[in-house]
Amino acid sequence: MDNQSAVQVLGIVEIGRDGVSHLENCIYNGEIGPNDMAVLDTMAELLEALEHGTSHIPIPNRVKEINANLLFYIDELKQHLVDENVETFLYDFRFHFCSLYRILELEVAYIVEKFVNKRDYPRLYPEVGSVDHNEIIAIGEQARCKVSVVLLAYNNLDYTRDCVQSILDHTNDVEFELILVDNGSTDGTKAYFDSVPGAKVIHLKYNIHLVKGFNIGLMAAEGKYCAAVCNDFIFTPNWLSNLMVCIESDSQIGFVSPGATSISNMQKISIPFTSKEDFIEKARAYNVSNPTKWEERVVLLPNVLCCPTALLDRIGYYDTRFFRGEFLDDDISFKIRRAGYKLIYCGDTVTHHYGSLTTASDHLTNSLEEGRKTFLDKYGLDAWIDAHINPAYIKIDYSRLSGVKSILGIDVKCGADLMQIKNRLWSDFGTKAELSICMTEAKYETDTRSISKNVFLLNRVDKLPEELAGKVDLVYIEKPLDYYVEGLDAIFAGLAQVMSPNGKLIFTVNNSVYIESLFEMLQSSYTMHNRKIYIRELICLHAKMQGFEPYGILNFQSDFSSISEQTVVQLTKLLASGKESQSKQLELLMSKYAVYQMDFQALRQ
């Protein structure tokens, strides 16, 4: 495909949009007739042309499935008019036909995006331009209700019943509408949804999978906020009211989500229970709104995607390019945060998660790597390496950080670990530390500016900004010191210039005898070329020369494959002279790096 072909395809999309707008105007004026309905026949021809025009592009897409649903509802709309069923016609036109066409627009726009200038089509590419926060607020004030709870289900009816019932039982303290999306189920889900009193039911004749399934439900939302959920959760007393307390505490908050009994990203809340009833009662006691348990995050998993509805519409909902849904949560986090909003994990609220029922049909053996690459292609960042939390931050001795009011993060990637340190200071000491960030890699600048007003791009790590001199209570360096070109003397001397009296320093150094590093050496891996090897005692000596005194050095053990662990055990038996020696050697070989913690006292001149 070239630019001319892509422009032609988007031209067909625009013609279809004109047809949809014509029917909307007819309905608004109450003047729809047979001639107007002929637009639907034209729409059917356009759908065929779009499917043909994009079929040769080697990009995974759901155009065929979306079109099948659109054609189904074109026939339904015609029949409704024949039957003079006006109410059903209006419902299906708005919540099925119009939304499906919007989903198709976004799908086609993604397929041809490399061949067009996105700025020529701002409605098709929501990332064009900035988000007007005042407009988002103004639209929200006109909403018909407080919250639209959107539940997506594909089969698994028993779990779906439990989920819906938990919402009905435990959401009586917030004004909400319930939107139930049946994503082409074959097990009676549609009939069950139709039986739920007052629910707004979206029925897809054919499965359009996770991303589009959620999006059609979100497009139907008429609440100020959306709360999108999967059918493999059980919701608890105060779950939604707690989220509302959080999101309405600050107009800059754009996404909040609770904890769950089974989830990653440090959002797991472990509550032992013996039955569903027991869990509900324990959750009732736990779910007390508590701002000290709120954590600002770089990436937030949507146990509940709770956001201003107008914001989701403005940023284009879930991104259709994430074909199977993997890394969809990372992407929506990035879109909301880059739009100028905060993401808040509500650790004061627990839900129960059975585990990936809604998404199971989209998970394939290589789906994680597929989604990871999609994220990398879009942002130039690796979601796992650059934006996820390293559990090593938990091992930091926070008892010595009670006086920290300002933090300088150096080469902290997108800032996930740095934010967790800030969150911990808030929960432990009630301190909202001011963040400054210095980096030597420009690719992280956009995201670090979303969490800090003071961001500096450096050429050298030993030349820190003069405006920070003597003002920093804690310096946290995420990039291991052995990766820097600058020597230890230069690095510690530069750090000493910005430290406040009694300041703290935390950094990491790679373990040169980590088992994976040894394998890389044996295999002559290029990753080992020019890598520095630092000895613990010499690191501490260089640090002391600039006023830093170590008070804690912790080895951090990485996850292993079973083969690597077996190899480590065999090596330690060969190297060690006794059980105590074997234990130390085992720890050393299994430790990827060491975390150093130091006090600072300026040297007397």
* Helical residues (DSSP H) of 445-561, grouped into ranges: 445-448, 488-498, 515-522, 536-544
Backbone φ and ψ of 349, nearest 5°:
-140, 130
Mean pLDDT on 268-297: 96
Residue 125's pLDDT is 97
Query: Per DSSP, which regions of 318-423 are E strands?
Result: 342-353, 406-410
pLDDT digits (tens, 9 = 90+) for 396-408: 999 999 999 999 9
Contacts within 8 Å (CB) and 24+ apart, 390-396: 390/416, 390/417, 390/478, 391/266, 392/417, 392/508, 392/556, 392/593, 392/595, 393/417, 393/420, 393/421, 393/424, 395/554, 395/556, 395/595, 396/421, 396/424, 396/506, 396/595, 396/597
What gap in Å lies between CA 11 and CA 4, rounded to an integer?
Answer: 10
Instruction: For residue 466, count CB atoms less than 10 angstroms from its CB and return exposed for 0-12, middle for 13-18, buried for 19 or more.
Output: exposed
Give me the half-sphere count of Cα atoms (radius 13 Å) on the Cβ side of residue 476. Answer: 24
* pLDDT greater than 70 at residue 370: yes
CA distances to 71, 360, 437, 487 from 183, rounded to whole Å, are: 16, 13, 44, 58
Mean pLDDT on 23-35: 88
Mean pLDDT on 479-495: 95
Mean pLDDT of the chain: 92
Q: Where do we find the tokens 């005042």?
A: 134
* pLDDT greater than 90 at residue 134: yes
- List b or e across 551-589, with b for residues whose CB sees 16 or more CB atoms inside 10 angstroms: eeebebbeeeeeebeebbeebbeeeeeeeeebeebbebb
Mean pLDDT on 84-92: 94
- Cβ partners under 8 Å of residue 206, min gap 6: 65, 68, 69, 72, 184
- Identify the CA nearest to 495 among candidates 518, 521, 468, 455: 468
* pLDDT greater than 70 at residue 567: no
Give the lowest-confidence range in 17-21, 150-154, 304-308, 557-561: 557-561
pLDDT digits (tens, 9 = 90+) for 292-348: 999 999 999 999 999 999 999 999 999 999 999 999 999 999 999 999 999 999 999
Percent of the chain with pLDDT over 70: 90
- Residue 268 three-state SS: strand
Report residue 363's pLDDT band, with 50, 70 and 90 as the boundaries. low
Residue 366's pLDDT is 74
* pLDDT greater than 80 at residue 515: no
pLDDT digits (tens, 9 = 90+) for 189-208: 999 999 999 999 999 999 99
- Residue 441 three-state SS: coil
Report residue 64's pLDDT band, with 50, 70 and 90 as the boundaries. very high
Percent of the chain with pLDDT over 90: 81
The dihedral built from the CA positions of residue 3, 5, 8 and 9, taken in this order, carries a sign that is negative
Backbone φ and ψ of 137, nearest 5°:
-65, -45
Residue 511's pLDDT is 82
Q: 556 vs 253, which has greater pLDDT? A: 253
Q: With contact defined as beta carbons under 8 Å apart, do 425 and 457 qualify?
A: no
Report CA 105 to chain centroid distance, whole Å: 24
Contacts within 8 Å (CB) and 24+ apart, 389-395: 389/265, 389/266, 389/416, 389/417, 389/420, 390/416, 390/417, 390/478, 391/266, 392/417, 392/508, 392/556, 392/593, 392/595, 393/417, 393/420, 393/421, 393/424, 395/554, 395/556, 395/595
Query: Per DSSP, which regions of 291-353 are E strands?
Result: 294-297, 305-308, 342-353
Q: Which token pair is 104?
A: 């198709």
Give the lowest-confidence range in 344-353, 379-388, 463-472, 505-514: 505-514
Q: With contact defined as beta carbons under 8 Å apart, do 309 and 220 qualify?
A: no
Q: What does the DSSP assignment read for 546-588? A: TTEEEEEEEEEEPP--HHHHHHHHHHHHHH-SSHHHHHHHHHH
pLDDT digits (tens, 9 = 90+) for 418-456: 999 999 999 999 999 999 999 999 999 999 999 999 999
